[in-house]
Amino acid sequence: MSENLEIIKQKIKKAKAIVYFGGAGTSTESDIPDFRTESGLYNQPEFAGRDPQALLSIRTLYNEPELFYAYYRTHRLFPKAKPNKAHQVLARWEQEEKLKAVITQNIDGLHQMAGSQKVLELHGSVHHNYCTECQREATLEEMTDPGRQVPVCRYCEGMLRPGVVFFGEPLDQKILHQAVEALKAADFLIVGGTSLVVYPAAGLIDYFTGEDMLLINRDTTPFDNRATWVIHDSIGEVLWQLAKT
């Protein structure tokens, strides 16, 4: 792998428009579980007899909000999580004007916490919340008020909800368009920590027409044969090595 890393490092130095497309594996090194690995959400015991996809659905949010929030607060909110090496390297590359965009399927906001500015959140963010009645923006603290099973607006008493795209909801078309444009303009694509089986997000890779694609993921993906290099290792460690001068 060391030989490949040197080649990739030289390619990155020459690149003028890097885009990072990341999934849950980008944040596992910040102790946020992913979905499909052995310790991921899909392999944990059912919660109240439901699987994660049913619990994190728009139907459960509106029809059974108490159940939804009992699961969401304990399995999708990680207020103590900090950016890891991957987030830090990507933020540094953006500051150096090499990285043009981060396209993420994550909702944790760790890219922004590390300093990244151009972050396209395909599935929204736990840090963007609002009232379903008056549309007022709400803080994360309001969403986690231990005194209420279901968070409500302090002004109109309407139910608060996360600005997250849940199962059964469409992706934001504006964010999708921006992601497509970023991928079309990229000359180097780094894909990290995603199984590339969830659509329409995985289909965005098709818009990349640049020369070099680096795919970093612990398990194989349907796109391995399309990547220039595939590395099955820690995303943080690989990016950290590539960022060394």
Q: Does 118 lie in the same domain as 133?
A: no
- Angstrom distance (rounded) from CA 3 to CA 19: 23
- The residue-averaged pLDDT of 77-84 equals 95
Q: Does 134 lie in the same domain as 24?
A: no
Catalytically annotated residue among 123, 128, 177, 232: 123
Least confident of 34-48, 112-126, 129-143, 165-179: 34-48
Q: Does 135 lie in the same domain as 107?
A: no
- The residue-averaged pLDDT of 211-236 equals 93
Instruction: Tell me whether residue 177 is one of the annotated catalytic residues.
Output: no
- The residue-averaged pLDDT of 101-106 equals 97
Q: Does 151 lie in the same domain as 47?
A: no
Share of the chain above pLDDT 70, in %: 96
Q: Specify the amino acid at residue 64.
A: E
Q: Does 236 lie in the same domain as 180?
A: yes
Q: How far is CA 177 from CA 125, 181, 182, in A?
A: 18, 6, 9
The confidence score (pLDDT) of residue 2 equals 59
- The residue-averaged pLDDT of 160-173 equals 96
Q: Does 43 lie in the same domain as 28?
A: no
Residue ranges making up the domain that contains 72: 37-77
Q: How confident is residue 39, by pLDDT bands cut at 50, 70 and 90? A: low
Residue 4 has pLDDT above 60, yes or no: yes
CATH (domain of 237)? 3.40.50.1220
Q: Does 222 lie in the same domain as 174?
A: yes
